[in-house]
Structure 1
Amino acid sequence: MRSVLRTVLCVVSLLLAAVVVPSAARADNPIVQTVYTADPAPLVHNGRLYLYTGHDEDGSTYFTMRDWRVYSTTDMANWTDHGSPMSLATFAWADANAWAGHVAYRNGRFYWYVPVRHRATGSMAIGVAVADSPTGPFRDAIGRPLVNNNEIDPNVFIDDDGQAYLYWGNPRLWYVRLNQDMISYSGSPTQIPLTTAGFGTRTGNAGRPTLYEEGPWVFKRNGLYYNVFAAECCSEFIGYSTAPGPTGPWTYRGTIMPRQGGSFTNHAGVIDYKGGSYFFYHNGALPGGGGFTRSVAVEKFTYNGDGTFPTINMTAAGPPQVGTLHPYVRQEAETVAWASGVETEPSSAGGMNVGYIENGDHLKVKGVAFGGGASSFTARVASATSGGRIELRLGSPTGALAGTCTVGGTGGWQTWTSVTCPVSGATGTRDLYLRFTGGSGYLLNVDWWRFT
């Protein structure tokens, strides 16, 4: 990924080729820049929003996907990279296609439903993994497919009465009633009738007369059930239907997100968080992006008074920040609004660290609440070379210099030490840029930082 992003990410015009925005300097969509991500599935748990995604491999010319990723936020602007807690290797019976999944929380556990290719049959099946933490690690819950009918894109909805439903399907649309254990179901899979009244009319395809294509996302709001789905490949737009009950009958309501964004697929996730409504999707907006190298983005929206969706367009600005970031406690280096040139990797100290840092790379941390002013900055760093410098810039990568920390060699990329430097001028609430400078090649890794 870095070979693609290094030469292009700072050229804002290429990002704007995919989406039109009012201010390129404030661009925070797509929300992950270190890898290609797809098929967003948001979940709110204990006041934090977790985002589960697929992972398109660099340079892919197909849906080449081998693992899934997790990110989280408390402010809708700065996202923490939790790495990959689940991969194809989690399912011993699967051999390919780590495609679009969904996570549900119940019984004190997290259940991740994913479509993968069944090694024995060569067909697509739905597996389920379980974890005790929203960031994993996840393990195969049953050691075999939960559903095996060669269709994809599982989504789980738990109704107010406690009944859980698993929906999935392409080219058809199915559901089953999950049992309380979330890893078995009662009855047989039931096919939802794809009528033109329920899912709109597609022209020119006798085999698929409705607009429904894939990626159902079912939820309930004010007593009304919504089914948001990817419509009419290819390229896809996002449409939706509503119903008085979780299994229908469905009535098609129209388009939410028109065809946009440089990817011939799209995949939606809708959720409320901290008093706002958010619409997640993917596009091809990052450099090197396209139909097989996608990136997740998000928009804030407001339902119409009658409960219908407004038209939601892709932007590079993203949603407004909810609150601010606290700089006087430990902050993970991989918690950022934008990363330019770097990658993340598992840290020997636990979690992830920012690495593969070269001269001129930077991290943007949005809305940092310095208050009356910071006096010093400490970072946990490592370097197998002679190190480099961390410049603390305010407002932009070339903004006012608040301090510079010099990092020497530590003897290894996972040999951690702390460095501290004085800070001046960091007051109020500002966007913070950690800009890295030094010689050629990789300079240093950063695990976490904190101001005092």
Structure 2
Amino acid sequence: MLAFAVVPAAVQPTVARADNPIVQHVYTADPAPLVYNGRVYLYTGHDEDGSTYFTMKDWRVWSSADMVNWTDHGSPLSLATFSWASADAWAGQAVQRGGKFYWYVPVKTRATGRMAIGVAVSDSPTGPFRDALGHPLVENGEFDPTVFIDDDGQAYLYWGNPNLWYVRLNADMTSYSGSPTKIPLTTAGFGTRTGDPNRPTLFEEGPWVYKRGGLYYLVFAAKCCSEFIAYSTAPVPTGPWTYRGTVMPTQGGSFTNHPGIVDFKGNSYFFYHNGALPGGGGYTRSVAVEKFSYNADGTIPTITMTGTGAPQAGTLDPYVRQEAETIAWGSGIETEPSSEGGMNVGWIENGDSIKVKGVAFGTGASSFRARVASTTGSGTVEVRLGGLNGPVVGRCGVPNTGGWQAWTTVTCPVSGATGTQDLYLRFTGGSGYLLNMNWWQFTPVGAVAARR
């Protein structure tokens, strides 16, 4: 039972000392990474604040070019997208094919009350997504789809709890050939569970299938409850599978877990979820990531959750427009759809902050500008380096613009921003909400700032 949900989160983490979990302003679960066009797109579920069950109503999308600064793309898919769905926006996965993006998700149907797999399609990895069929793709009461396209172009959809199923998808990615096939859950294939005669193997849910070096991997949530992450391998995508052992032991304050593995910029990354944020737990989860290296024989090492997360893959360019919702760590802030497109950071109060990691200032910046809105005119953006209490290299006052979506651009001089450093935008002012921010950009020394 892996799931997700919506609502502006009241998650208010304390000052960051690390970068895991990778999103702090809403609870996220069931990560499904996709590498496309030089970025990792991360599709997650969304646990409601204060939830006491897997009460999930929508899915979220994030992306990163460096594995540490993640851009919030909002919620381009929800239960409302599927007219035939009633509840339970649980764990899905997206894949790209032929210039389109297909997102396979489990939901409960209005007609039967059972879990089914739907498919949504978009021309963009960040949506918006629409229901591709108007009805379920498959329905047998089970959930947690994973999708895999083999080197020969044949696509496969796997899913299941308590069983494990697959179908061969047609090239249109919205229909399939033959009937769903149940994969034999043998102890040789999926390990031995003790104490539950109804489930003799470790397989529980959340399969993730991929291919590496001619070998097929099936990573899954094992045993319940609490779950750990295990994996099996096979010579072909339909098995037979051989159990290989533990990827991530039980840990992390959530009794579920959910794997996602990708290669990006020459490195391998393992995504999972835990209950590490304030208020976190089994129904209020958060996605995290670790970098890892395969063993020489292709086996996956045992991976432990950390608060540091993956190292940064590259640097961030402050001299091009950066979305305010591109964040390594946020404290107090939330996000919302912007009238200018995309998302903006909002609900900003005195003392809230944004950390952007590994910003490459080079020989230096001369000014900072930001797209802001406010109904109070009492807020200031402090530009700090190295930490929340690091040196202030610039201050931009924010005027009353006449509305929370009435945008203007403010500019202030900057001095001392050189080299590659972590950037902190700290917001100060009076009581209540101070300002919204849509984007920011620095101007290098010797250049003329653009106007908007």
TM-fit CA distance, 1:48: 1.0
Q: Which runs of 4+ in 1 moved over 4 A?
A: 1-4
1:46 partner letter: N
Deviation per CA, 1:349-397, whole angstroms, max 9, x where unpaired?
A: 0000000000000000000000001000000000012230000010001
Say whether 1:340 aligns with 2:331. Answer: yes
Do the aligned residues in 1 keep the contact of 2:318 with 2:360 (CA within 8 Å)? yes
**Partner in structure 2 of residue 310 of structure 1:** 301
Cα distance 1:109–1:117, how it changes in 2: closer, same or farther (>3 A)?
same
TM-fit CA distance, 1:235: 0.3
Do the aligned residues in 1 keep the contact of 2:365 with 2:418 (CA within 8 Å)? yes
CA distance in structure 1 between the partners assigned to 2:10 and 2:166 by the alignment: 40
User: Where do residues 22-421 of structure 1 align in structure 2 (5 Å cutoff)?
Assistant: 25=17, 27-421=18-412
TM-fit CA distance, 1:11: 6.1
2:11 partner letter: L
What SS does the aligned partner of 1:147 have? coil
CA distance in structure 2 between the partners assigned to 1:286 and 1:84 by the alignment: 21
Do the aligned residues in 2 keep the contact of 1:202 with 1:208 (CA within 8 Å)? yes
Do the aligned residues in 1 keep the contact of 2:9 with 2:334 (CA within 8 Å)? no
Do the aligned residues in 2 keep the contact of 1:242 with 1:250 (CA within 8 Å)? yes
TM-fit CA distance, 1:273: 0.2
Q: Alignment partner for residue 5 of structure 1, among 11, 26, 50?
A: 11
Deviation per CA, 1:50-108, whole angstroms, max 9, x where unpaired?
A: 00000001110000000000000001110000000000000000010000000011121
CA distance in structure 1 between the partners assigned to 2:409 and 2:209 by the alignment: 47
CA distance in structure 2 between the partners assigned to 1:420 and 1:183 by the alignment: 49
1:321 partner letter: Q
Do the aligned residues in 1 keep the contact of 2:15 with 2:331 (CA within 8 Å)? no
CA distance in structure 1 between the partners assigned to 2:37 and 2:321 by the alignment: 20
CA distance in structure 2 between the partners assigned to 1:333 and 1:233 by the alignment: 39
TM-fit CA distance, 1:426: 0.3
CA distance in structure 1 between the partners assigned to 2:10 and 2:61 by the alignment: 22
TM-fit CA distance, 1:442: 0.2
1:100 partner letter: A
What SS does the aligned partner of 2:401 have? coil
CA distance in structure 2 between the partners assigned to 1:61 and 1:95 by the alignment: 19
TM-fit CA distance, 1:3: 7.6
Cα distance 1:349–1:184, how it changes in 2: closer, same or farther (>3 A)?
same
CA distance in structure 2 between the partners assigned to 1:181 and 1:304 by the alignment: 36
**Partner in structure 1 of residue 449 of structure 2:** none
Deviation per CA, 1:165-193, whole angstroms, max 9, x where unpaired?
A: 00000000000000000000000000000
What SS does the aligned partner of 1:263 have? coil
Deviation per CA, 1:292-313, whole angstroms, max 9, x where unpaired?
A: 0000000000000000010100
Deviation per CA, 1:249-296, whole angstroms, max 9, x where unpaired?
A: 000000000001000000000000000000000000000000000000
CA distance in structure 1 between the partners assigned to 2:375 and 2:230 by the alignment: 51
Deviation per CA, 1:138-177, whole angstroms, max 9, x where unpaired?
A: 0000000000000000000100111000000000000000
Moved more, 329-338 or 380-389: 380-389
Do the aligned residues in 2 keep the contact of 1:53 with 1:100 (CA within 8 Å)? yes
Do the aligned residues in 2 keep the contact of 1:38 with 1:54 (CA within 8 Å)? yes
Do the aligned residues in 2 keep the contact of 1:4 with 1:287 (CA within 8 Å)? no
CA distance in structure 2 between the partners assigned to 1:105 and 1:407 by the alignment: 41
Do the aligned residues in 1 keep the contact of 2:142 with 2:162 (CA within 8 Å)? yes
TM-fit CA distance, 1:47: 1.1
Do the aligned residues in 2 keep the contact of 1:2 with 1:341 (CA within 8 Å)? no
Do the aligned residues in 2 keep the contact of 1:65 with 1:96 (CA within 8 Å)? yes
2:334 partner letter: E
CA distance in structure 1 between the partners assigned to 2:228 and 2:27 by the alignment: 20
CA distance in structure 2 between the partners assigned to 1:310 and 1:296 by the alignment: 20
TM-score (norm 2): 0.96
Do the aligned residues in 2 keep the contact of 1:4 with 1:288 (CA within 8 Å)? no
Do the aligned residues in 1 keep the contact of 2:155 with 2:169 (CA within 8 Å)? yes
What SS does the aligned partner of 2:120 have? strand
1:176 partner letter: V
2:14 partner letter: C
Do the aligned residues in 2 keep the contact of 1:39 with 1:282 (CA within 8 Å)? yes
CA distance in structure 1 between the partners assigned to 2:298 and 2:51 by the alignment: 39
TM-fit CA distance, 1:5: 3.3
Unmatched 5+ residue regions in structure 1?
13-24
What SS does the aligned partner of 2:210 have? strand
Do the aligned residues in 2 keep the contact of 1:262 with 1:284 (CA within 8 Å)? yes
**Partner in structure 1 of residue 4 of structure 2:** none
Do the aligned residues in 2 keep the contact of 1:179 with 1:185 (CA within 8 Å)? yes
What SS does the aligned partner of 2:433 have? coil
